[in-house]
Chain A
């Protein structure tokens, strides 16, 4: 069985904040890492590798620094990694990313399962998995919270807002993996460091039969953003624990929320 996992290199979304002086998002100088949700997908792939003797390949589009993300996933137990390098300033919309990733996956055929995180912690678009599936003419199951697979097929549980669906199907197929499915293994810094960069193969757009112009034609562009007003009272209550508790109760009674 051959499993391809799509991973994304992102800024650590837990570090993103608003600069109070300029009222702008601070995005530069933050640490970058593997998209949190993709770790769940890699973990699931590595589990299947142990169980079925599968081979696990990773594909990503990202800056040179995305090697870090691939090394982490290789340290988790993936076998091969493919990087299509773009400039750190290059933005891609979901249509562009899905097109390029699809071509990268096609190059690796035969492929039995394609796994993606259900969403990325930077864009939160939840589109890429389903788009790749459509482009590759694969059936897909999203929001997978339970998975079992054998050669030729899979059974997956998909958790929606109020229902859990169980789906059964034949491979090849694409699955988007929910963070609730597992707790990803945590390779140590030394294990990650020991992964040789030479294991990461560079892919060029031309290898995929694509032109550089694909990078310049997004279908959706971000024009700008605004920071929503924080309409909070920010009242800090002083005093001993019991004084503070008594004042808080008074405030909450005034607010009529008790």
Chain B
């Protein structure tokens, strides 16, 4: 079993990390709460603290901040690192972690060849962590001050017009939509369903028909609505990675061989320009 040091943004995150790390923890883990400093300073403190408390496994959340601090700390400790772990296990002295590979088409199992080891836990796994856990908060041992010339000059909440991660229903469209003006049709359907609008990457990044926050996928929002309707989206794995946890998936595509149909509960092979108005009618009537 491992001597675990948790690195968390706050107490709630520390508790979830302790639950996920329970299978490998020999006794209640120590927990270091983030000091909110620059990642270079946080990483140095994390590495120093792990030495101080004699930890051989560091576990942090796979938030963007968590990942960069973990990666730097791993380098300081000359340790292996697995980010975005879904679960961790230890048997026969071998520490392993599972994580999605290639955007979620498969789940890989990774083994650490040695300790110390550094892990970050996928936010989805932390959100699903239930039960009781105990940890002992420790105070930070300051790391070596590298004296980096870098400062935070501004920190602002992102101005998002929509947060798809919280949407109950999403109507999403892709390159099957021929013109920007036709978004009106999709909006009417979404309104009828009380749904938010999502899109594939080309719509947001290349065509810029919608702001980035509407993009669903591995480089966009990871969503889990009750209903996800994909209109004229082919179903590339990078898109799938963002919507695979939807409860019910509907696909409308004119190509019966489009990969999206494999991921769908209900599929309609047809032209969105015919099916969308028909759907509006069926909902209205």
Q: Does B91 contact A (CB under 8 A)?
A: no
A164-B67 Cα distance, complex, nearest whole Å: 17
Q: Mark A119-140, 1 if CB is under 8 A from B, else 0.
A: 0011111111111011101111
Contacts of B101 in A (CB 8 A): 123-124, 222, 225
Cβ–Cβ contact B74 & A95, under 8 A: yes
Q: Does A93 contact B (CB under 8 A)?
A: yes
Among A98, A161, A245, which residue has its beta carbon within 8 angstroms of that of B279?
Answer: A245
Q: Does B214 contact A (CB under 8 A)?
A: no
Q: Number of A interface residues, CB 8 Å?
A: 79
Cβ–Cβ contact B227 & A258, under 8 A: yes
Cβ–Cβ contact A126 & B83, under 8 A: yes
Contacts of B82 in A (CB 8 A): 125, 220
Would you list 7 pairs from A and B whose C-beta atoms are within 8 A, ordered by A residue?
Answer: A95-B81, A124-B103, A168-B151, A169-B150, A237-B267, A242-B281, A248-B250
A-B contact count (CB 8 A): 251
Cβ–Cβ contact A166 & B152, under 8 A: yes
A125-B83, A223-B109 are contacts. A14–B238 as well, Cβ < 8 Å? Answer: yes
Q: Which 4 residue pairs spanning A and B have beta carbons closest together?
A: A219-B80, A169-B150, A245-B278, A130-B71
Contacts of A237 in B (CB 8 A): 266-268
Cβ–Cβ contact A170 & B74, under 8 A: no
Among B83, B106, B247, B282, which residue has its beta carbon within 8 angstroms of that of A249?
Answer: B282
Q: Does A234 contact B (CB under 8 A)?
A: yes
A61-B204 Cα distance, complex, nearest whole Å: 32
Q: How far is the CB of A237 from chain B (nearest CB, A)?
A: 5
A245-B264 Cα distance, complex, nearest whole Å: 16
Least CB separation from A127: chain B residue: B71
Cβ–Cβ contact B106 & A140, under 8 A: no
- Pick the most buried of A138, A218, A245: most chain B CB atoms within 10 A of its CB: A245
Contacts of A121 in B (CB 8 A): 103
Cβ–Cβ contact B227 & A252, under 8 A: yes
A173-B150, A248-B268 are contacts. A14–B105 as well, Cβ < 8 Å? Answer: no
Q: Does B87 contact A (CB under 8 A)?
A: no
Cβ–Cβ contact A94 & B81, under 8 A: yes
Cβ–Cβ contact B247 & A257, under 8 A: yes
Q: Mark A20-56, 1 if CB is under 8 A from B, else 0.
A: 0000010000000000000000000000000000000
In B111-161, the 8 Å CB interface with A consists of 111-114, 146, 148-158
Contacts of A85 in B (CB 8 A): none
Cβ–Cβ contact A124 & B158, under 8 A: no
Cβ–Cβ contact A165 & B43, under 8 A: no
B interface residues, Cβ below 8 angstroms from A: 38-40, 43, 63-65, 67-68, 70-72, 74-76, 78-84, 96, 100-114, 146, 148-158, 169, 193, 205-206, 212, 218-219, 226-227, 236-238, 247-250, 259, 261-271, 274-275, 277-279, 281-283
Least CB separation from A158: chain B residue: B64
A167-B68 Cα distance, complex, nearest whole Å: 15
Contacts of A18 in B (CB 8 A): 105-106
Contacts of A249 in B (CB 8 A): 279, 282-283
A125-B109 Cα distance, complex, nearest whole Å: 14
Least CB separation from B275: chain A residue: A241
Q: Does A17 contact B (CB under 8 A)?
A: yes
Among B74, B236, B238, B279, which residue has its beta carbon within 8 angstroms of that of A248?
Answer: B279
Cβ–Cβ contact B81 & A14, under 8 A: no
Contacts of A225 in B (CB 8 A): 101, 106-109
Cβ–Cβ contact A252 & B40, under 8 A: no
Q: How far is the CB of B169 from chain A (nearest CB, A)?
A: 7
Cβ–Cβ contact A258 & B193, under 8 A: yes
A196-B33 Cα distance, complex, nearest whole Å: 52
Q: Does A246 contact B (CB under 8 A)?
A: yes
Among B84, B111, B151, which residue has its beta carbon within 8 angstroms of that of A124?
Answer: B84
Cβ–Cβ contact B237 & A244, under 8 A: no
Cβ–Cβ contact A13 & B102, under 8 A: yes
Contacts of B111 in A (CB 8 A): 220-221, 223
Q: How far is the CB of A1 from chain B (nearest CB, A)?
A: 16
Contacts of B247 in A (CB 8 A): 255, 257
Contacts of B96 in A (CB 8 A): 223
Contacts of A228 in B (CB 8 A): 104, 106-107
Contacts of A173 in B (CB 8 A): 150
In A142-191, the 8 Å CB interface with B consists of 142-143, 155, 159-170, 173, 179-180, 183
Least CB separation from B168: chain A residue: A257
Among B113, B218, B265, which residue has its beta carbon within 8 angstroms of that of A221?
Answer: B113
A133-B39 Cα distance, complex, nearest whole Å: 11
Contacts of A221 in B (CB 8 A): 110-111, 113
Cβ–Cβ contact B72 & A133, under 8 A: yes
Contacts of B206 in A (CB 8 A): 183
Cβ–Cβ contact B268 & A244, under 8 A: yes
In A207-258, the 8 Å CB interface with B consists of 217-228, 230, 232-237, 241-242, 244-246, 248-249, 251-252, 255, 257-258
Least CB separation from B155: chain A residue: A165
